[in-house]
Each structure stands twice: as structure tokens, then as C-alpha cells.
Chains A and B, each alone.
Chain A
Amino acid sequence: MEFEDDYPKPSWFRMNYRALWGRAYPRIIGANREPSWVFFETFLPILAVAAYVFIYKAWIPEPTMAELMIGFVIVGGAMTAYWMNVLWSMAAQLYWEKEMGNLELFMVAPVSRMSILGGMALGGMFTSTVRAVSTIIAGVLLFGVSLTVQEPLYLVLIFIFTMLALYGMGMMFASLYMMWGREAWHMSILLTEPIYLASGFWFPLKGFQYMLGQPGFWIGVGASLIPITLGLDGMRQCLFGTEMGFFPLWLELAVLIALTGLFIFLARLALAKMEELGKKEGRLTLRWQ
């Protein structure tokens, strides 16, 4: 067997670009092959959103305020998709890849592990987008939410950097999960509910400030470490006006850009550490092979 199809050595960039898409591919294809997936990814989230919509409709006497809150919930519900994906899927990804016997093959491949992890993130983003878009569509069609984009450029930039920072965080989680194992992870899962609340998925971040005053402001600042918090707040400002915004848009964008840098840096660090530890302790590969 000889291959007579010599091709020029691909550049480092091309190699990693191919690896990124190569790893994103199973997610994108796989998603379409499981019919039940569409149900779980679209119908169930809409149910969760619907619950809040009805609560707000019933409790908020002033119609314009109720409408605004429902709009907030729809956007929050849509963005939940990404957060859940990062927390439940991205974080455990390397762990499962190891169990499946793929991790060691990723590790012997001559590409950056960051591109492979990035491919997982891209695939995750794709499936989550299906879910997010279906929530938005349901919001518009079922609950009559009207979205008017007031700051298109900010909207796009804030969304992009929210994704980059959020999935950067997910990539970091993936390595930490590998290093510390499932037990340690369960502890942090316990913390997700409070974070969920603090990040303002179901109401504006500024709500804390209204309710609790100064301490509420600091809860919001703390929650801003999770990229989705300011991403959500920023996108809401772009869609429903800036009155309810936590920080000015420019500041939120700046923080998100900083978080992107931070989390991608930390993800690389954690990945390198995980790899080194794995090679030292013999944990990169499955024992029984």
C-alpha cells in the first residue's frame, strides 16, 4: 500500500482549522440523527419559559412592564441553552472522550488540543443555537413578544464575545473535570442553582439592586464573572432598551472581551496541566487497553 497522492504539508493554521471542524462535525451530524433530540432540545425549554411567562402575566399588573419581563424571560430562556450546554456537556466532554477511548487518539494527533476542544465547543454551540432559536421563535409566535433591535452592532459583538468567553470557560471546566474527577464535580454542580439565580436568567440583573440595594449590586458584580451574566444583560439592553441595564453597554462589552481572554488563557493552562498530570500519573488513557 502506497499513497500516490502527495499533498503539500498544511500550515499550522490549516491543520488546526481542519481539526476544529473535524471534531465539531459529529455533534452537528449526530444532532440531526436523533429524532428525540429535537423534542428535548426545543419543546422542553419552551415549557420552562412558558411557566415564567404565565407567572409574570398573572402577577405583574402593568401590561407594559409584564411584556418587558416576558421579553426578558424569552431571551434568558434562549441563552440558558448555552449555559446548560457548557455546564453539562462541555465540562464532562474530555471525561467521556476518555471513557470512549477517543482522548488518547486526540492526544497523539499532531494538532493543538485547543482546536479539538474548540471543535467540541463549536458543535455544542450549534446544537444549543437550535434550541435558543426555537425558544425565541416560540416567544414571538406564542407569547407575542416583539423584539426590536436597537443596537445591532453591540448585539452582535456582545453575543460573539459571550459565546467565546462562555465556551472558553467550558473548555477550562473540561480539563478540571478530568483532573478532579466526578466526585469533586458534584460539589460544584451544587453551586449551579444559586449561580443560575444570580446570573439573572429569569429577571434582569438589576433586579437584585432594586430588591436588596447595595448588596444586590455586589451580587450582580460577582455573577458577572460568569460570562453569560453580562452577555444576557447586554443583549437585553440591545433588544428592550437600556433603562434596565446593569452597566453601560460599552463596559459590558469590554468586560466580556476581558473574560474571553481570561477564560481562553485559563483553559489552555488547565489543559496543559491536565495533560502533564495525565502523563505523569498514567490517567490519559484507558487502563485495560
Chain B
Amino acid sequence: MTMIPNAVEIKDLRRTFKTKAVKSKKELVTALDGADLEIKEGELFGLLGPNGAGKTTIIKILATLLFPTSGKAEVLGYDVMKDAYQIRKNINMVSGGETSGYGILTVNENLWMFSQFYGIPGKIAKKRIKRLLRVMDLEKKADAKVRTLSTGERQKANMIRGFMTDPKLIFLDEPTLGLDVNASRLIRDFIKDWMRSKTGRTVLLTTHYMMEADELCDRVAIIDQGKILACDTPANLKRLVTKESTLKLEIRKVQDISAFQNIKGVKRFTYDHNITAGITKLNFILDDEAIVADIVAEVPKSGSKIVSVEKSEPTLEDVFVTLVGRGLHEN
């Protein structure tokens, strides 16, 4: 087995800020309080945490924009303190609500300008921008001045800015902040497609939408008050809360239900016939959600048809509540 190298490695990372509080008394704010994290190359990794948890601080340190107060941070094998230039060649960064660029320039011109900071030859840059504009459904705004764009359009343009340089590792700080359902969907689909179409690409995104983390990420770290509380696949994290997952199935014209009982991995199985409607409700508790497929495959074999499937599972929100003792969006 070959070892997959780390895209990001953080050890006991701390960062404090001096702030001028009331009456210029200096106060120390702790943004990161000994965070540890490892992200493999090729991972779509999510940092999930409430406001002020330290998500952006981590990203800024990794993007070489901020020194840690202490601890170690490496990106693609390079130290953020010593080898910032090597890191910058391979990364890019997009933040939600970002207002970069010059209002007087068009979307096309702004993107072209940023491409030049990465030394992309003019023609190639223009081709990439054109293609990404199409993918992001922003073609019609290509020649619009940046200052006339809506929030969603702006964010799409920012995404193009980040991805056009073909970064090995990209930091997305709340990429869907303030976007409507369609725009969020498009951006999430883009990120998924980005990861699928070439191996070795890494994405580190932050979010406080637990659905987003769940849907997108290979692994998620839950962060609160500058500490990483847990880090695993969304499925495993949820298993921290309940060890099992449950499945509710409604089927019609059932003949023999004993077959379901014998499927490997079914921990518990209950059923309820509704004779007048001709529907049987089955309840499973499973060791592993992968077994859902086996169960669904069993239905036609027993000569019946599926009316509805409902998988009830704990959410990442539940995980967060269990770990922190409060909800993701409560203070």
C-alpha cells in the first residue's frame, strides 16, 4: 500500500489576537487553542463549526496570510512560516462574501487580471475563463462591470478566480454564504465535479451548514472555540451519536418476510401489516448503512414492490450537540 501524502498537517496550532477593547485595555482573544488536523491529498475536507470557532483563522494560516502564535502548520509538505512561496504556487483561496476585484472592470477583465498573478499565458487564461463562465452559468455577465453583479453572481466569479489557476489545494471559506438554493447547488455540484475529474486535488472548505458538510465532504472536522473536537467521515461521526442506522420500508403485496430477517447486518427487524391498504411496514436497525442496498434488492425477490423508503439517521447537527452541548447555530 502506498502512503498518501498529507495536503495539510497541523499540530498543536495556537493563535491569539491582541484586541483593543474598551478604554484601550488590551485583551487577548484565543482563536486557535491547540488544534490538530491532518488532511490527505485528494480529500474533500470540511471544517464545521459555529461563528468564531476559528475556521477562517486556520485557513488564513494555511494560506500563508497569518503566522501562528505557536505550533506547526504544513501545507503540501511545506512549512507555512518558512516556505510560503512554495505553498502559494500550489494553492488558491475563495471566501464567501468576498469583494475582490475592481468595480470598474468587467468580470472577464478582472478574472484575466488575477490569472496574470499566476503567470498563466493570456490565451490559455482566456480559454479557461470562458469555460468556467459557462460551467458557472455566468456567461451572460462576462462583460458586465463587477460592481453591477448580485451577491450570487459575484461569488460565482470568485469561484472562477480560485479554480482557474488549477490549484492542487484550494481553500473555500464558506463558499455558499448568503447564496440562494440554486446558486448553492451549482457551486456544490461544481466542487464535487472538480474532485471527481482529476485525482490528487484537495479541497478544504469551511461551513456552518451541516447539510453542506454532510453532502460534500469525505471527512469533516468539528471545531469549536479553537479546538478540533472530532474528525472523521460524516457517516462515522454520526455513528458517534448512535451506533446504528435505521431504515423504514413500506412494501406492497408481500409474501414472505422472513427473507429480510436473514440478511447479514440486520440487527433488528420489526414489521406491521396493514391489511386493508395491502401495505406492510418494515423497520430495520442496521449495523451499516451499506446494507440498505441489500435490503432494497431483496424486495422484488420476495415478489413485492416498494412504496416508500425512509432512512432515518442522526445528523451532524446531532453530533455537534453531543460534542459541544449546544446547537450549531445557538450561542
Residues of A at the B interface (CB closer than 8 Å) are 1-3, 5, 7, 10, 14-15, 18-19, 21-23, 25-26, 29-30, 33-34, 100-102, 104-111, 116, 279-282, 284-285, 289
Contact = CB atoms under 8 A, between A and B. Distances in A.
A22 B117 CA distance: 7
Nearest to A33: B104
B60 A1 contact: no
Contact of B119 (A19, A101, A282): A19
B193 A5 contact: no
A25 B113 contact: yes
B326 to A, nearest CB: 24
B25 interface: no
Nearest to B190: A1
B92 A108 contact: yes
Contact of B118 (A23, A33, A109, A285): A109
A105 B119 contact: no
A108 B93 contact: yes
A269 to B, nearest CB: 18
Interface stretch (B94-102, B250-258, B290-298): B94-102
A105 B193 CA distance: 25
A279 B65 contact: yes
A182 to B, nearest CB: 16
B99 A285 contact: no
A107 B67 CA distance: 13
Most central of A5, A104, A110 by chain B CB within 10 Å? A110
A105 B100 contact: yes
26 contacts: A1-B190, A2-B197, A5-B124, A7-B121, A19-B119, A23-B113, A25-B112, A26-B102, A26-B104, A30-B105, A33-B104, A100-B102, A101-B99, A102-B102, A105-B161, A108-B63, A108-B65, A108-B92, A109-B88, A110-B88, A110-B119, A111-B118, A116-B117, A281-B18, A289-B97, A289-B98
Contacts of B114: 22, 105, 109
Contacts of A285: 60, 65-66
Contacts of A33: 104
A187 to B, nearest CB: 20
Contact of A1 (B97, B102, B135): B135
A275 to B, nearest CB: 9
B128 interface: yes
A10 B119 contact: yes
Q: Is the interface of A mostly helix, strand, loop or mixed?
A: helix
Nearest to A13: B119
Nearest to B161: A105
A3 B98 CA distance: 25
B242 interface: no
B121 A3 contact: no
A100 B147 CA distance: 12
Given A1-B190, A3-B128, A111 B166 contact: no
A18 B163 contact: no
Interface string B117-160: 11111001001100110010000000000000000000000000
A104 B197 CA distance: 29
Given A26-B105, A108-B63, A109-B88, A19 B116 contact: yes
A163 B82 CA distance: 34
A2 B164 CA distance: 10
A1 B197 contact: yes
A59 B99 CA distance: 54
Contacts of B197: 1-2
Given A18-B119, A107-B64, A109-B117, 5 more contacts: A1-B193, A2-B198, A3-B166, A15-B118, A108-B64
A101 B128 CA distance: 23
Contacts of A5: 124, 127-128
A33 B66 CA distance: 36
B268 interface: no
A22 B112 contact: yes
Contacts of A21: 116
Nearest to B163: A1
B140 to A, nearest CB: 20
Given A5-B124, A7-B120, A10-B119, A30 B104 contact: yes
B195 to A, nearest CB: 10
B60 A100 contact: no
A129 to B, nearest CB: 19
Contacts of B99: 100-101
B95 A289 contact: yes
B194 interface: yes
